[in-house]
């Protein structure tokens, strides 16, 4: 039987049970009531008093580093995929909480980003295309990453073709989030109904097929199905979709120094003429301004072809409509534009930066890249993810993905220098002017070049 002696002795109730006396109670005469209690009640009191100290002491504070991540992921289902992956990272790293915030398309993001940097309130992480690199470097806003990246096991797994988009001025300033390129999606059922059995491989064949697919389907003497959907707007998206045609026509954006715009050239002129001819033929349906990424008309069968990238694969698969993909038709040579946004880490403090880099490493890894690619259609930047059995099974089940993988070898990145956004804006204005019939390709490009000459001087 448990022996309880006087509390003033060395062998008291607490020492026998190896319990530290609780701070929340006063000992002495007031505590002598315990000695009169039955053993069971004494043991209950023992447990209660042992836990009393925990009730009084303040709980240990949790040291969580909160990270803000700005992104412009589209279409909306892809944002759901991203959020699930962010949640997974947060679960795996309880000391870090990444908050993913959609801040609009690139043309909407840019003023917010620059205002945040100037106001000393940038996000910790930014998802944006690599053309912003030069501007962020000039503002001394982002971390150089080459030393951190070289120590990662994921470094050797990055597709070598993507290093061009990561580097500027001898440093690595971003890491690829995902990659893609541009092709033409089409509706096989509409091609079959129009009697088209061969896919267009040249610009002229594209024009002919687009004409054949432009029809009045219900006999009301109004065209309700167009051959192709073209993006309208001054923003980067329209320029990005047009660039493969310019490169295929032998055109360039910059002079040999890769810094000075030189957009009045035969390839740029002929590619704008091609797009204008599709409008003049009545074969093209223009998007709403800055909405060239929307696929509603394609899904509804109002257009038979749309220039876009693998980021739409997940959305299209979810609808159940028939679709397939073919490479960009050529004039002088095969070409496509390499896209996909990069991840930038902003300067803040060592703790925030370390947490942001931890998430960047997660993004580069096989797990993230495989799940992001399978659920959105983007191409993995991680070679191990691209060669994994899970991803190869996905490719076998979705042949459209292989078109983008095969075409990637013809891809080119947009030039990286501090004022690329001014170049893109001027090109966007020229392209919009041509599509709306306000000027010829040559005059629109000449006006844009004159504006750029003033800016870059």
The reply to whether 75 and 167 lie within a common domain is yes
> What's residue 288's pLDDT?
93
Residue 257 in this model has a pLDDT that exceeds 50? yes
The reply to whether 239 and 369 lie within a common domain is no
The reply to whether 285 and 367 lie within a common domain is no
127-136 residue pLDDT tens: 999 999 999 9
Q: How many domains is the chain built from?
A: 3
86-115 residue pLDDT tens: 999 999 999 999 999 999 877 788 889 999
Confidence of residue 317 (pLDDT cuts 50, 70, 90): confident
Residue 236 belongs to domain spanning? 181-338+414-456
The reply to whether 138 and 85 lie within a common domain is yes
Last residue of a domain, one of 56, 85, 107: 56
Decide if 5 is inside a domain: no
Residue of 422, 428, 315 lying closest to 378 (CA atoms): 315
- The CA–CA distances, whole Å, from 135 to 168, 284, 340, 355 equal 11, 35, 18, 24
Confidence of residue 419 (pLDDT cuts 50, 70, 90): confident
> What's residue 62's pLDDT?
62
The reply to whether 88 and 185 lie within a common domain is no
> What's residue 28's pLDDT?
43
> What's residue 403's pLDDT?
95
φ/ψ of 96, rounded to 5, equals: -130, 140
Q: Is the dihedral of CA 236, 241, 242, 246 positive or negative?
A: positive
- The CA–CA distances, whole Å, from 395 to 11, 128, 159, 401, 403 equal 74, 26, 18, 6, 10
> What's residue 92's pLDDT?
96
Average of per-residue pLDDT across 262-287: 97
Decide if 419 is inside a domain: yes
Question: Which token pair is 8?
Answer: 């003033």
The reply to whether 230 and 245 lie within a common domain is yes
Residues 213, 416 contacting (CB under 8 angstroms): no
Average of per-residue pLDDT across 378-406: 94
348-384 residue pLDDT tens: 999 999 999 999 999 999 999 999 999 998 999 999 9
Kindly provide the b/e burial profile for residues 53-66, where b requires at least 16 CB atoms within 10 angstroms of the residue's own CB: eeeeeeeeeeeebe
């Amino acid at each position: 039987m448990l022996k309880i002696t006087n509390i003033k002795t060395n062998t008291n109730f607490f020492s026998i049970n190896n319990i530290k006396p609780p701070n929340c109670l006063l000992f002495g005469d007031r505590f002598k009531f315990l000695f009169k209690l039955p053993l069971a009640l004494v043991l209950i009191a023992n447990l209660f008093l042992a836990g009393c100290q925990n009730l009084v002491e303040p709980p240990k504070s949790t040291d969580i580093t909160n990270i803000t991540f700005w992104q412009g992921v589209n279409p909306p289902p892809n944002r759901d995929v991203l959020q699930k992956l962010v949640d997974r990272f947060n679960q795996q790293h309880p000391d870090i909480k990444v908050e993913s915030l959609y801040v609009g398309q690139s043309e909407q993001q840019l003023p917010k980003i620059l205002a945040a940097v100037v106001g000393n309130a940038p996000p910790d992480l930014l998802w944006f295309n690599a053309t912003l690199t030069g501007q962020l470097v000039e503002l001394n806003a982002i971390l150089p990453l080459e030393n951190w990246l070289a120590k990662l096991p994921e470094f050797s797994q990055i597709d070598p073709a993507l290093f061009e988009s990561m580097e500027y001025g001898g440093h690595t300033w971003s890491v690829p989030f995902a990659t893609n390129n541009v092709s033409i999606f089409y509706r096989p059922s509409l091609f079959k109904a129009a009697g088209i059995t061969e896919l267009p491989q040249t610009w002229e064949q594209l024009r002919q097929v687009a004409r054949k697919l432009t029809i009045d389907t219900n006999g009301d003497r109004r065209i309700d199905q167009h051959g192709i959907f073209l993006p309208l707007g001054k923003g980067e998206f329209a320029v990005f979709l047009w660039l493969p045609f310019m490169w295929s026509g032998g055109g360039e954006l910059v002079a040999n120094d890769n810094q000075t715009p030189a957009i009045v050239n035969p390839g740029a002129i002929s590619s704008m003429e091609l797009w204008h001819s599709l409008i003049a033929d009545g074969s093209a349906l223009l998007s709403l301004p800055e909405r060239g990424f929307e696929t509603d008309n394609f899904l509804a069968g109002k257009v038979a072809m749309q220039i876009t990238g693998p980021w739409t694969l997940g959305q299209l698969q979810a609808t159940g409509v028939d679709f397939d993909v073919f490479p960009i038709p050529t004039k002088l040579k095969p070409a496509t534009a390499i896209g996909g946004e990069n991840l930038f880490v902003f300067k803040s403090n060592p703790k925030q930066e370390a947490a942001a880099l931890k998430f960047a490493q997660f993004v580069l890894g096989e797990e993230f890249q495989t799940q992001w690619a399978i659920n959105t259609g983007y191409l993995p930047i991680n070679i191990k993810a691209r060669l994994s059995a899970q991803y190869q099974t996905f490719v076998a089940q979705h042949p459209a993905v292989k078109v983008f993988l095969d075409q990637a070898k013809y891809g080119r990145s947009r030039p990286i220098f501090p004022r690329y956004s001014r170049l893109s804006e001027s090109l966007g204005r020229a392209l919009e002017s041509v599509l709306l019939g306000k000027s010829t390709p040559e005059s629109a490009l000449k006006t844009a070049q004159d504006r750029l000459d003033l800016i870059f001087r």
